[in-house]
Amino acid sequence: MPNPKFMTPWHGVPREEIDWHPRVNVEACIGCGTCVTGCSRLVYRFDYEQMKAVVFDPINCMVGCTTCANTCPTNAIGFPPLQDVLDLEKRVLVHHAIEDDLTTRREQLQVPDLLPHPDRVVELEVTSIVDATPTTRLVTLAPHRAEDCLCQFIPGQYLEVQVPGTSWLARAYSVANAPRSDSSVELQIRRVDGGRLSSWIFESAQVGDIVTGRGPAGAFTMRSPAERPIALVAGGTGFAPIKALVEQQLDGFPDRRMLLAWGVTNATDFYELDVIGTWLERSPNFDCLLAATSWPPGVNVPTRATTATGFVADAIDASEIDLSGYDAYVAGPRESITTSTAALHRRGVSVERIFVDSFGLTGLTDVA
Ligand code: SF4
Ligand code: SF4
């Protein structure tokens, strides 16, 4: 009988709906018993007649665990692809269940004797909300109290924003601008079905609302010497930190050789083409590649921008620009980061000169 203790939902998903348990290749099993006695969840029983491991209570298996396969001396144990579990983790439901668990069990889980968070907590007022596309909102926040200031952040950093009136964990959003004299910051927020902060932004937020922001944080900041050319690569709303870096560089080093490469699914999702047009006009050393998998008529591509059909990695592969001396800064969803960095590497950008916006790698960009 499966043990009810191990049948509870896995981060909100009923355990019986998840196909995750070992499969034993009976031919390869030499009956050593390592898996049978090593699994603390009693997934296995042992056939003492045939001297073989038998998967007896598969549903007891811990989702994502592969210990028995790793320790089998004859490689006789297989599992479904780990990607199946990683895909489950992208569900909003799963992310929220983990988040609620962290909140509920805080006393049990938190590291003891924590030092206070070094970043500041600032009350921020929503000063503007602009629908850039049906699925992307540009939200401007400014310090609510005169004594607060966000002028110290470095372009490429992010803020954590709390949904007002909730104890949910805060969401991290890159600041999409270089520091401004009025200390305001722009966040670019994509609608995510069921996403907690994005639902609040799209359904409830009003100009004048107050949110709590914590930060700035993050190290996705410019660290290339001014003489090196740079490629700035964005997938989707990964454009936000890239925009901040471009603003910073155009202000500080207007002659710097720069390439912006931005990819979206549908070209109508390019929500800042007018801004890119002003960058292209400002500097002859600024180049731009725009990639989308579909290009409906009517998209107003800036003069001098090069377009490609496909993903941003395809545009990098097809570019005529010699990237071998470039440093690269890459932001966006995990898949986009993976393919873009591979393309940059193919085009001669050395791995240690590629800097990645690490919270793209959490895979949580779909659960805002
Ligand atoms: S560890 Fe491998 S060889 Fe040993 S009993 Fe289990 S399946 Fe068979
Ligand atoms: S993967 Fe882990 S939990 Fe599942 S059967 Fe193997 S050792 Fe047990």
**Residue pair 136/186 in contact by the 8 Å Cβ criterion:** no
- Cβ(53) – ligand 1 distance below 6 Å: yes
Looking at residue 362, its pLDDT comes to 43
Domain 4-89 CATH (choose: 3.90.1150.10, 2.160.10.10, 3.30.70.20, 3.30.565.10): 3.30.70.20
The residue-averaged pLDDT of 231-239 equals 95
51: CA distance to ligand 1 center in Å? Answer: 9
**Residue pair 288/276 in contact by the 8 Å Cβ criterion:** yes
The residue-averaged pLDDT of 230-234 equals 98
Tokens of 366: 């779909």
- Cβ(68) – ligand 2 distance below 6 Å: yes
Looking at residue 118, its pLDDT comes to 57
* Position 332 pLDDT exceeds 50: yes
**Total number of residues shown for the chain:** 368
54: CA distance to ligand 2 center in Å? Answer: 12
What does the buried/exposed string (b/e) look like for 231-258 if buried means 16 or more CB atoms within 10 Å of the residue's CB? bbbbbbbbbbbbbbbbbbbbeebeebbb
Q: What is the CATH number of domain 230-366?
A: 3.40.50.80
Residue 219 or residue 120, greater confidence: 219
Closest CA to 315 of 357, 262, 367: 262
Please report which ligand is nearest the Cα atom of 33: 1
**Residue pair 236/332 in contact by the 8 Å Cβ criterion:** yes
Query: Closest residue (by CA) to atom 2 of ligand 1?
Result: 72
Annotation: CATH topology of 120-217: Elongation Factor Tu (Ef-tu); domain 3 (2.40.30)
Residue 363 or residue 274, greater confidence: 274
Mutation probe of ligand 1 site: the residue of 50, 70, 77, 79 with most atoms within 8 A of C-beta: 77
The residue-averaged pLDDT of 153-158 equals 92
Contacts of 355 (CB under 8 A, 6+ apart): 220, 223, 327, 328, 329, 330
Please report which ligand is nearest the Cα atom of 46: 1
Nearest-atom index, ligand 2, CA of 66: 1
Measure the CA–CA gap between 12 and 34, rounded to whole angstroms. Answer: 31
**Residue pair 246/174 in contact by the 8 Å Cβ criterion:** no
Would 120-217 and 230-366 be classified into the same CATH topology?
Answer: no
Question: Sheet containing 185-190: which strands, arranged edge to edge?
Answer: 171-174, 158-162, 210-217, 120-133, 136-143, 185-190
Measure the CA–CA gap between 368 and 173, rounded to whole angstroms. Answer: 9
Percent of the chain residues past pLDDT 70, beyond the cut? 96
- Cβ(67) – ligand 2 distance below 6 Å: yes
- Cβ(34) – ligand 2 distance below 6 Å: no
Nearest-atom index, ligand 1, CA of 68: 1
* Position 185 pLDDT exceeds 50: yes
- Cβ(43) – ligand 1 distance below 6 Å: no
pLDDT band at 132 (very low <50, low <70, confident <90, very high): very high
pLDDT band at 116 (very low <50, low <70, confident <90, very high): low
- Cβ(129) – ligand 1 distance below 6 Å: no
Q: Would you call the peptide bond into 216 cis, given omega within 30 degrees of 0 as the criterion?
A: yes
Query: Closest residue (by CA) to atom 4 of ligand 2?
Result: 61
* Position 189 pLDDT exceeds 60: yes
Residue ranges covered by each domain of the chain: 4-89, 120-217, 230-366
42: CA distance to ligand 2 center in Å? Answer: 8
The helix/strand/coil state of 332 is coil
Q: What is the pLDDT of residues 51-82, one digit of tens each?
A: 999 999 999 999 999 999 999 999 999 999 99
Give the position of tokens 């500097």: 283
